[in-house]
Amino acid sequence: MEGAESGFVAAWKWIRRNASTMFFFGGFIWDSVALHRGSKPWDLWLLLIYMCLSIVVLALIGREIKPKREEWFNWVLQFCFGGTLASLTVLYFISAASLPSLIFILFLAVVLVANEYLESRYGHMTVSLTMFAVGSMMYLNFAIPVVLKSVKPVWFYVSTALGLGIAFLLRRFAITDKVSFKPALVAGVVFVLLFLLKWIPPVPIVKREMIVCRELQRAPQTATAMVEAPPWWHFWKRSESTVHLRPGEKVYCYTAVFLPPGVETKIVHQWYYHDPNKGWTKDLRIVVPVRGGRDDGWRMWSYKWNFAAGDWRVYAETENGQVVAVAHFTVVPVPAGTAVDFKPIAMR
């Protein structure tokens, strides 16, 4: 009997010692299973539950109402913050296409990892309030455009202000003086600056596919095209990176962009040429209206001919310049009649 008791005590001590890690990975694994694409009602409700649960716990901490074991509140906050940040990191990552936006995702990953080591600090409301503000601003930045079926830039400022407003009300509701709203406010200002610099991915817009190709043929439910057959060691590539171009031949840039159902906006195809003397210069610009709801994304394309030899790229951007997708390729002119090895592909 004594052995059984001592074993139970040892197991309980191990659980208490590792509860922080267990709650962190529990939140991450749960969201990996439960989260879909961020536009499904369940996804938004799941993150809203995390947000509301965090509000309740933070309100209780602020009023100095604590359970018998104070660490329970810390564990709940860590689970909610871990689940929220893990989900949003994934959702923002699949919307990221430019280097600055990928750097922003790296920042989110650092915050996500830091969450595991902040469990003992969540009893200090300034730390937990700041983490809540970051998570709520990111969540509302995603959720409001989905609910209102609009991706206008104004909703980013509204979501940021709303997230900060909730954090400010929690601060005012607290009776303890050991809490500061300033770090949360600084986080909000940083978010706005990063948005103005086009560093924040254009959620909830998601790139499904972007392909440089030839002979694009449209069909009611799909589209087909021809691409140069890549070397065998690049068997997975569907887009041309080196274009052996015969005189007068068209090059297409095909893009499939996913938006939540009911969302309408415009996507810009901006072509650039790398001039040896001037650097990257703008070329063709095409604006295409797009609508959400198709699982494989709204299909759009643009094309041009009469290319200069050298490096080219095409950006798919929002109207305010946020990068949704980018394709790079090099044009190598070849004489008319030159045989080029093509393979057919089916578009999404």
Residue 319: inside a domain: yes
Residue 131: inside a domain: yes
- What CATH number should be reported for the domain holding residue 306? 2.60.40.10
Residue 54: inside a domain: yes
What is the SS3 string spanning 95-121? CCCCHHHHHHHHHHHHHHHHHHHCHHH
Residue 237: inside a domain: yes
Q: How many structural domains are present in the chain?
A: 2
Average pLDDT over residues 7-13: 60
Residue 267: inside a domain: yes
Are 213 and 103 members of one domain?
no
Quote the pLDDT of residue 18.
57
Are 255 and 116 members of one domain?
no
Domain boundary among 149, 168, 196: 196
Residue 163: inside a domain: yes
Quote the pLDDT of residue 32.
47
Domain boundary among 152, 177, 196: 196
Q: Which domain holds residue 176?
A: 2-196
Average pLDDT over residues 315-339: 93
Are 161 and 302 members of one domain?
no
Are 24 and 83 members of one domain?
yes
Are 275 and 171 members of one domain?
no
Are 170 and 284 members of one domain?
no
Domain boundary among 196, 229, 257: 196
Are 70 and 44 members of one domain?
yes
- Cα separation, 21 vs 19, in Å, equals 5
- Cα separation, 216 vs 154, in Å, equals 36
Residue that wins the pLDDT comparison between 215 and 66: 215
Are 57 and 90 members of one domain?
yes
CA neighbor of 145 nearest in space, from 99, 97, 91: 91
What are residue 128's phi and psi, to 5 degrees?
-65, -35
Quote the pLDDT of residue 181.
93
- Cα separation, 331 vs 181, in Å, equals 54
- Bridge partners of 289? 266
Contact of 108 with 82, CB cutoff 8 Å: no
Give the model's confidence band at 29: pLDDT under 50 very low, under 70 low, under 90 confident, else very high. low
- The pLDDT tens digits for 306-323 are 899 999 999 999 988 999
Are 224 and 341 members of one domain?
yes
Are 189 and 259 members of one domain?
no
Residue 201: inside a domain: no
3-class secondary structure, 251: strand
Residue 187: inside a domain: yes
Are 306 and 191 members of one domain?
no
Pairing of strands 323-333, 242-245: parallel
Give the predicted TM-score (pTM) of the model.
0.78
- The pLDDT tens digits for 277-309 are 999 999 999 999 998 877 767 889 999 998 999
- Cα separation, 43 vs 62, in Å, equals 29
- Counting every residue written for the chain, the total comes to 348
Are 215 and 121 members of one domain?
no
